Amino acid sequence: MSAKHFIEPTPAERWRKYLTDYNEGLGLVYERLMLNDFLETLRVKHRIETALEAPLYGMAGVSGINSVLLARNGAAVTLVDDNAERLAGIRRIWGELGLDAIFCLQTPISTLPFSNHAFDLVWNWAALWYLTDPEKLVAEMTRVSRQLIFIAMPNRAQVGYLMRKYILEKDFTRYVDEAWADIGRVKNILRARGCQIIDEGVLDVPPWPDTVMPAAQVLRRLGIQSKEMQARFEGDGWQWSSMDYYLGKKPTLKAQMDKYAFLERAPLPWQIKSVWAHHRYVVARKNQNKSERAA
């Protein structure tokens, strides 16, 4: 457990930008729509009727919209944030989508203001390494879950992650606690809380590396000054927005992303895919009796 307070590794205004500018980039749209498929599989298989996303940041781009498909398909969604301005923007976005959710402002976010066994699914995406006390949050997630806990973190073994760490953005680990990208650490906490690991693997496996940066910025960092190359990844012709898909403006966007999912869906062991996968995940099932004794 660390006493250090971590901040987002992007400029302070980045999340504000995406509350009104929905152009996230190809990689983020792919990541979100593949996550949608995974969440929908969980919802159907485990009959998820209530879901808590806490915290709701972690993925870059537009904050707070990772649970949209759950809500659209009938689950009652609760979203927790520790920033009032961001949460207000997310509430507005959900209103724009015509969807209902419960929006909860909570500080510190490591303490969840809900009763035991309140939600069928409690989850977050790539968020733990930003937190002051991630271990406490994972324990809280198990407490308020009645069935499943799902956690995903960036994959440290992935080529793009190594590029980011050693070439493109050498100081980004100053802003996160990199130890929490170890999914094994998360699994140990879940087991200690009496949970059974029922699934683990990789998600977000497109045919490009995950550097977090926009493609044009990567080229500049690598010293590639070609105007032709830069033009391919900038301007009005390079617009990628999950919100356009959710709002029905680009209904074919999911089909476009599916064309890039051949590695994602290849019948290979996840351990082999992990060389290229952007995220590792774990799904645990709550054992109420053991969890309650560990509390």
Q: Could you give all domains of the chain from N- to C-terminal order, each with its CATH number?
A: 14-156+175-207+238-294 (3.40.50.150)
The pLDDT of residue 124 is above 70: yes
Coil, helix or strand at residue 139: helix
Q: What is the mean pLDDT of the chain?
A: 85
Coil, helix or strand at residue 147: strand
The pLDDT of residue 99 is above 80: yes
In contact, 43 and 72? CB cutoff 8 Å: no
Question: In sequence order, what are the residues at sequence separation of 6 or more whose Cβ sits closer than 8 angstroms to the Cβ of residue 205?
Answer: 34, 261, 263, 264, 273, 276, 277, 278
Mean pLDDT of 257-281: 94
Please, where are the H alpha helices in the chain?
14-18, 26-46, 68-72, 84-96, 134-144, 159-163, 183-192, 215-221, 227-232, 242-246, 253-259, 270-273, 288-294
Q: pLDDT tens across 56-80, in order?
A: 988 989 999 999 999 999 999 999 9
pTM of the predicted model as reported, rounded to 2 decimal places: 0.86
pLDDT interval class at 103 (50, 70, 90):
very high
Q: What is the pLDDT of residue 231?
A: 45
Scan for tokens 């977000």, then name that residue: 204
Mean pLDDT of 147-173: 81
Please, where are the H alpha helices in 11-109?
14-18, 26-46, 68-72, 84-96
Geometric angle at alpha carbon 50, from 46 and 52, rounded to 5°? 110
Residue 61 burial by CB count (10 A; 0-12/13-18/19+): exposed, middle or buried? buried
Least confidently predicted of 216-225, 247-256, 280-289: 216-225
pLDDT interval class at 268 (50, 70, 90):
very high
